[in-house]
Amino acid sequence: MKPLMLQGHQRAITQIKYNREGDLLFSAAKDSKPNVWWSLNGERLGTFNGHGGVIWCLDVDWQSINLITGGGDSSCRLWDLETGKNIATLKSNSSVRTCNFSYSAYQAAYTTDKAMGHPCEVFVIDTRTIDETVSGQAPILKWEITDSKVTSMIWGSLDETIITGHEAGDLIQWDLRTGKKIHSVKEHTHQITDMQLSRDGTMFVTASKDHTAKLFDTNSLELLKEYKTERPVNSAALSPILDHVVLGGGQDAMEVTTTSTRQGKFDARFFHLVFEEEFGRVKGHFGPINSLAFHPDGKSYASGGEDGYVRVHNFDQSYFDYTFDYNRE
């Protein structure tokens, strides 16, 4: 496969995401301009100019009308996708680490860092009508997180819950009607760097600095599967059509220069969902992979790395022909 290399960022990629139909690919990096690309040919549609610092997170609603981004300039912004205009800006006390639209996009949630004397907080805002007034609106729900800070977040089923992944490795499911904990599990020992839902939303995969990625049930937070590597995992994504998980990671950028350059640590690694066994690797990045996303049709995937590149890979036929070897008796 000949990957498309998208060079729209000056600094490390922090998150990439496809829209629901997969024709657009969004990328956020530690520079201040999130990008949007046509996923088919890698043509850049535009950049969202306005943030004043690192972009940590982004999300697009299911109709591909609005984009939400959060970053190190202590703001969460809503954008019009068609024109790239900044519609509303929500100021917070510390940098915004995660942000997500609910599936219906009637609400959006974002979390802030515990920094500068301010606690880590979760905000839920009303996004039924997105215009300038959203900037001044009070959140419909907000609560403080007293223990370790939130490093990743997803919406649970039917937009009724939020699941947060924490720096200490905890997973907590919150009830949105009360803002109370429903479930709390601690299966990871280090920071949870990424969480991504399966296509039907019944399961999600976590990626953690403790060198593993794990598969959980969305409703009960029951641990289903575990994928082990020997490097910190920065991102994991589930294939929408096959029983495959792709893991991306590698050692921290700050440690790269102090260790030997052994090959094979910045690969995207493909695991079988059920058998938890690795069956393939794809090389390409010069640094650790920070974010991975499967195209909704499952025929290509994109990875964004610490090297600042986004690479879009269209799978070869050999990937689809591959059958995992197992004893059928």
Partner 1 sequence: MPVAEEFQASWADEVEIDQGVLPPPSEVVENGLKIVTEYKYDNDNKKVKIVRTYKIEKRVVSKSIAKRKTWSKFGDSASDKPGPNPATTNVAEDVFMQFITSKEESQRPDDGELDGLKPPSSNVIFKCRTCQGDHLTLYCPFKHTQIAQAKTAEAAKAAEAKVAASNKYIPPSSAGRIPGRDQPPVSREDVTAIRISNLSNFAVEADIDDLVKGFGPVHKLYLAKEKSTGHCKGFAYVHFKFRADAAKAIQSLNGHGYDHLILNVEWSKPPQNN
Interface positions with partner 1 (CB under 8 A): 1-8, 21, 23-24, 33, 37-38, 40-49, 63-64, 82-84, 270, 278-284, 311, 313, 315-316, 318-319, 322-323, 325-326, 328
| In the complex, least distance from residue 284 CB atom to partner 1, rounded to whole angstroms | 5
| In the complex, least distance from residue 154 CB atom to partner 1, rounded to whole angstroms | 24
The tally of CA atoms less than 13 A away on the side-chain side of residue 143 is: 15
| In the complex, least distance from residue 34 CB atom to partner 1, rounded to whole angstroms | 9
| In the complex, least distance from residue 198 CB atom to partner 1, rounded to whole angstroms | 22
Closer to partner 1 by Cβ: residue 172 or 292? 292
Cα angle value 140/200/310 (rounded, 5°): 85
CA distance 265 to 256: 10
| In the complex, least distance from residue 2 CB atom to partner 1, rounded to whole angstroms | 5
Closer to partner 1 by Cβ: residue 45 or 87? 45
Q: How many CB atoms lie within 10 A of CB 123?
A: 20
| In the complex, least distance from residue 20 CB atom to partner 1, rounded to whole angstroms | 9
Residue 180, phi-psi category: left (phi > 0), alpha (psi -120 to 50), beta (remainder): beta
Q: What are the structure tokens assigned to 154, written together?
A: 């997803």
| In the complex, least distance from residue 25 CB atom to partner 1, rounded to whole angstroms | 11
Full DSSP string of 197-210: E-TTSSEEEEEETT
Closer to partner 1 by Cβ: residue 284 or 298? 284
Q: In what order do the strands lie in the sheet with 86-91?
A: 55-60, 66-71, 75-80, 86-91
50 strand-pairing partners: none
- The answer to whether residues 84 and 49 touch, using CB atoms and an 8 Å cutoff, is yes
List of residues 6+ apart from 124 with CB closer than 8 A: 107, 108, 109, 139, 140, 141, 142, 162, 176
Closer to partner 1 by Cβ: residue 143 or 322? 322
Closer to partner 1 by Cβ: residue 31 or 113? 31
Closer to partner 1 by Cβ: residue 192 or 292? 292
CA distance 175 to 159: 10
155 strand-pairing partners: 162
* 3-state SS record for 14-78: EEEEECCCCCEEEEEECCCCCEEEECCCCCEEEECCCCCCCEEEEEECCCCCEEEEEECCCEEEE
- The answer to whether residues 245 and 227 touch, using CB atoms and an 8 Å cutoff, is yes
Closer to partner 1 by Cβ: residue 103 or 279? 279
Closer to partner 1 by Cβ: residue 21 or 226? 21
| In the complex, least distance from residue 97 CB atom to partner 1, rounded to whole angstroms | 24
Residue 315, CA distances (Å) to 301, 310, 311, 320, 321 in order: 8, 16, 12, 8, 11
| In the complex, least distance from residue 44 CB atom to partner 1, rounded to whole angstroms | 5
Closer to partner 1 by Cβ: residue 42 or 70? 42
